[in-house]
Amino acid sequence: MYFVNAPFFLRWFYRKVTFNKSRKDKKIYLTFDDGPIPEITPFILDTLAQYDIKATFFCVGENILKHPAIFQRMLEEGHSVGNHTHNHLRGWDTDDDAYIENIATCQKLTKTNLFRPPYARVKKSQLRQLYPYFEVIFWDVLSGDFNVNLSPEQCYRNVIKHSRNGSIIVFHDNIKAIPRVSYALPRVIDELLKRGFTFDQLETRVKA
């Protein structure tokens, strides 16, 4: 089970987490989790380049090591990157010290102030150690592209129905998501541009 819109109780429980940006600005923030991988990340980068849009990629450290050229392309094309742990760990199932160490391993590659916990499963005890160093990013709109039972059209409709000023939208650059993200992403961009939205990336400060 997952929520396309971040529910109020999740926002209440994780009060210091960023779910959306300013509702005053007609801006949308596209984010992509789990890459980089050669099967879909280049398509996403090509699509963003076609529209001259910058986005934010929450990268898994081991995928950066496997595909450094794609990661370098993200940076060279001006996109923001965030830390998504080194091995896509679920915080609820991981000892705090091991979780923080895994993030630190990824951080050597991403050097960013942005962090998104995989599955949005992170303990408050872990967050307390992360807040001094990271802006922790959840989402306002979860596309559902990881759901193999969801049609590409419904993935598109999930995003269009729920997006509004300041929305942070989650797509995935992983194998499972390919049929849905490849269909939905260009159509989402087209429709939201027609509705007068602009696209921006999450602000990142490079950390040594």
Whether 207 is in a domain gets the answer no
Structural domain range at position 81: 8-200
State which residues of the chain have pLDDT below 70: 1-3, 205-208
The pLDDT value given to residue 9: 82
Please tell me the total count of domains within the chain: 1
Give the pair of three-digit tokens for residue 112: 């960013």
Residue 48: inside a domain = yes
Rounded to a whole number of angstroms, the CA Rg of the chain reads 16
Residue 2 lies in a domain: no
pLDDT at 1: 60
pLDDT tens sequence across 76-86: 999 999 999 99
Residue 206 within a domain: no
31: tokens are 């984010």
pLDDT of residue 193: 98
User: Which CATH number fits the domain that encloses residue 30?
Assistant: 3.20.20.370
**pLDDT tens-place string over residues 106-131:** 999 999 999 999 998 999 999 999 99
Q: Is residue 60 situated within a structural domain? A: yes
Whether the CA torsion 120, 124, 125, 127 is positive or negative: it is positive
In a domain, 3, yes or no: no
Q: Half-sphere exposure of residue 136, counting CA atoms within 13 Å on the CB side?
A: 21
pLDDT at 6: 78
- The model carries a pTM of 0.95
Kindly list the catalytic residues. Answer: 33, 172
In a domain, 1, yes or no: no
Cα separation values, 7 from 11, 103, 139, 167, Å:
7, 26, 10, 14
Q: What is the pLDDT of residue 208?
A: 43
Tell me whether residue 143 is in a domain: yes
Task: Write the single-letter amino acid at 169.
Answer: I
